[in-house]
Structure 1
Amino acid sequence: MAPKPAQKALGPIRRSFAPWLDPSAVPLIRFENVVKRFGEFTAVDDISIDIHSREFFSLLGPSGCGKTTLMRMLAGFEEPTSGRITLAGQDLAGTPPYRRPVNMMFQSYALFPHMTVEQNIGFGLKQEGMPKPEIAERVKDMLRLVKLDAFAARKPHQLSGGQRQRVALARSLAKKPKVLLLDEPLGALDKKLREETQFELMDLQMELGLTFLIVTHDQEEAMTMSDRIAVMNHGKLVQVATPGEIYEQPNSRYVADFIGDINLFETKVTGAADGRLTLACADASAELLAAGDAATPVGADVALAVRPEKVRISLEPPPATATNVLKGEIWDIAYLGDWSVFLVKLENSEKVVRVSRANMTRTEETPIAWDDKVFVHFAPDAGVLLTA
């Protein structure tokens, strides 16, 4: 029997660029069964990834998951215990870092405090022996690119955090690498500046046509900037997909829980009909309905994962046509300006459901308050079924 095609995610696509869907496309970077051990500890466990030219690719995961180690092996600062890493078809084994067509930008920026901005940017070019007129021209181009023309003569301590970050970026780009590696590049910036810089990096990457590989533990950062994301955990690759697919079609409880907020209902399949599954859930007063088919056997244990923004909440009972209706009590409320988040403790259960609602108006005639009795409900196709 032919495998069932994957359901398309509802998430947005940043740009019409998807070489990974073309079987004839040749990846720029290839990790093949890469393993890295430090003594008895396995930091990277049999990972294979293809990254394409001009792709903005993120390695995402918690601290200690192996993402930085994977990047450092590509940069040449670590050697794989086994497996192979190729770049543009060339096996990188034994190639020292300074001979690899990659450059790495570190979280600390590592700027020379005694040098000016232009001297910092041109340092690598000077080390390579590039003629002074060419260095001056390249540095001028980089200053224009990162919008720091007026700051060329300043020292790092005379710059803001965002400006120092752009100097480090310009220095990394000055040697025109095939691949730019960014290790938590925005971690030192405040939230507002970090958000602004994310869009600047996206625009810059597209303008230059370079391949960016970023390591981050910030889900929002990866979701905003990436063409694709590789989610890692304990040295293993868990899922590689676009941001929309990662969010809307996670392949496991781990991914669903790690990316954004999620409500997980542990259930058992009790029936299937008309493209829907009925699910028994100990935390619900009635059976739940989910989109699915008979390929999921009756009696199977599955988790129904539902994002908070796909759950509706009201003080009054929903229409009779509503599905997956649950009763509960407001346990807590977080007002975030653009969104309000409600934590609802379900009736006759310890289960707490998270509901996110956009604040579309400035005022509300009957606002939902603490301790209110409420109804929450969601459509059968609002969630995804997970077995892993």
Structure 2
Amino acid sequence: MESFGSFRRKFSPWNDPTAKPFISFENIVKKFDDVTVVDNLSLNIFNREFFALLGASGSGKSTLLRMLAGFEEPTSGRIMLDGQDLRGIPPYKRPVNMMFQSYALFPHMTVEANIAFGLKQDGMAKSEIEDRVAEMLKLVKLEKYSKRKPHQLSGGQRQRVALARAVAKRPKVLLLDEPLGALDKKLREETQFELMDLQMKLGLTFVVVTHDQEEAMTMADRIAVMDKGQIMQVATPAEVYEAPSSKFVADFIGNVNIMAGEVTHYANGEAEIHCAADNLSIRTLTKKELSVGQQVWYAVRPEKITISREAPDDIAVNALRGELWDIAYFGDMNVFHVRMTNGRTFKVASMNAMRKTDDPLGYDEQVWVSFENNAGMVLVD
């Protein structure tokens, strides 16, 4: 039997020009009175994909999910699901189910009764309901808790009950609206992997709405980064992080140092960018076609930067001198804030790969920050 990991490595229908989208948002506009919350948005999602809509509050991600569920109708445009136009189809007749952040469990019902509720509403035979509930309890590893009520469960257990109830009807698509927001950090991290495994076992399409970047980066096959009702980039987590399409995406995803500059030299994929405000010239490699005099941004992630007391030996690297202003210790890594003479603060992340506690860098020390010419990204938008 092929492993989930093997399947995930090969799964990329968005790269296949012959693959047909399972869900299509076509030129969707949604207005509430005079306010446009989704602005002429088009998006394709493929069967069995774990897809994340990621954005800040007010970006339109939850509205998009609610339109797919049928709780809202688009002002214009159409939504297609498995070849069917969803316009006018009420929520209870759509082959989708939704799991809410609050879980919305019935407090007076047992775990098994909560899971069975939707099946009873659909008129399924009693024996079939019992079999399906048993299957769902086993799937979410709650067989021993079937007779308990929600208040007798932990937050993680309630989350799994809500998930079991949502998939019990075997929808074509499961919609998850901030599904892990009520869990503590450690449980949230554990549940992310449980959701990924569950999605693979069920073979369903999952669409999750979240404002949590780590959550989206961990679980999703692809991410749509949203802002003001529009999609800024759709790509895999690695592509969104390592090759953002714009300054907005680079700044929104993770930590980053961004500098505005002007291209002073470009030839054969090598560029020099002068950042006047930082009194700094950066040498970089880039796949973008640039022209001398072009205004760009240069972005470099904190973990791509080296911090040291001594100047780097390699004169080819980009190096700056500054004062160590702040230090944050996270156990697995240190985060340093280095203040330059011009007032800019560079964020530097250093992994604690070894148990090294002797002679650590300290506050107010003069240090060097340096990065290779392939460490950063040139952004033109």
Q: Bin the TM-score by the shorter chain.
A: over 0.9
Closer, same or farther: CA 129–204 of 1 in aligned 2, 3 Å? same
8 Å contact from structure 1 (residues 173, 180) kept in 2: yes
Displacement after TM superposition at 1:322 (Å): 4.0
| Matching residue of 1:4 | none
1:267-296 CA-partner distances (Å, limit 9, x unpaired): 110011342101111254442111136831
Closer, same or farther: CA 29–113 of 1 in aligned 2, 3 Å? same
1:156-210 CA-partner distances (Å, limit 9, x unpaired): 0000000000000000000000000000000000000000000000000011110
Residue 211 (1) aligns with residue 184 (2): no
Closer, same or farther: CA 228–156 of 1 in aligned 2, 3 Å? same
Residue 180 (1) aligns with residue 184 (2): no
Partner Cα separation in structure 1 for residue 8 and residue 357 of structure 2: 34
Partner Cα separation in structure 2 for residue 63 and residue 293 of structure 1: 33
Matched position secondary structure for 2:369: strand
| Matching residue of 2:38 | 44
Partner Cα separation in structure 1 for residue 308 and residue 235 of structure 2: 35
Matched position secondary structure for 1:94: coil
The residue type equivalent to 1:164 in the other structure is R
8 Å contact from structure 2 (residues 68, 79) kept in 1: yes
Residue 102 (1) aligns with residue 93 (2): no
The residue type equivalent to 1:27 in the other structure is P
1:277 to 268, 271, 278: 271
Partner Cα separation in structure 1 for residue 241 and residue 164 of structure 2: 32
Residue 375 (1) aligns with residue 368 (2): yes
1:328-382 CA-partner distances (Å, limit 9, x unpaired): 0101000000010000011x21110000000112224331110010001111111
Partner Cα separation in structure 2 for residue 54 and residue 358 of structure 1: 35
Mapping of residues 267-346 of structure 1, within 5 Å: 267-292=261-286, 295-346=289-340
Residue 128 (1) aligns with residue 119 (2): no
Closer, same or farther: CA 283–372 of 1 in aligned 2, 3 Å? farther
The residue type equivalent to 1:368 in the other structure is L
8 Å contact from structure 1 (residues 322, 377) kept in 2: no
Closer, same or farther: CA 194–367 of 1 in aligned 2, 3 Å? same
Residue 155 (1) aligns with residue 146 (2): no
Residue 350 (1) aligns with residue 338 (2): no
2:354 to 337, 361, 368: 361
Equivalenced residues, count: 375
Query: Tell me, which stretches of 5 or more residues in structure 2 are unaligned?
Result: 1-6
1:66 to 60, 64, 68: 60
The residue type equivalent to 2:377 in the other structure is V
Matched position secondary structure for 1:162: helix
8 Å contact from structure 2 (residues 334, 351) kept in 1: yes
Greater alpha carbon shift after TM alignment, 269-278 vs 104-113: 269-278
8 Å contact from structure 1 (residues 284, 326) kept in 2: no
Greater alpha carbon shift after TM alignment, 320-329 vs 45-54: 320-329
| Matching residue of 1:83 | 77
Partner Cα separation in structure 2 for residue 83 and residue 147 of structure 1: 41
Displacement after TM superposition at 1:321 (Å): 3.3
8 Å contact from structure 2 (residues 49, 221) kept in 1: yes
Partner Cα separation in structure 2 for residue 330 and residue 214 of structure 1: 40
Partner Cα separation in structure 1 for residue 351 and residue 151 of structure 2: 41
The residue type equivalent to 1:370 in the other structure is Y
Matched position secondary structure for 2:318: coil
Query: Tell me, which stretches of 5 or more residues in structure 1 are unaligned?
Result: 1-12
8 Å contact from structure 1 (residues 273, 294) kept in 2: no
TM-score with structure 2 length normalisation? 0.96
Identity of aligned residues (%): 62
The residue type equivalent to 1:363 in the other structure is K
8 Å contact from structure 1 (residues 273, 293) kept in 2: no
The residue type equivalent to 2:342 in the other structure is S
1:193-240 CA-partner distances (Å, limit 9, x unpaired): 000000000000011110000000000000000000000001111000
RMSD after superposition: 1.2
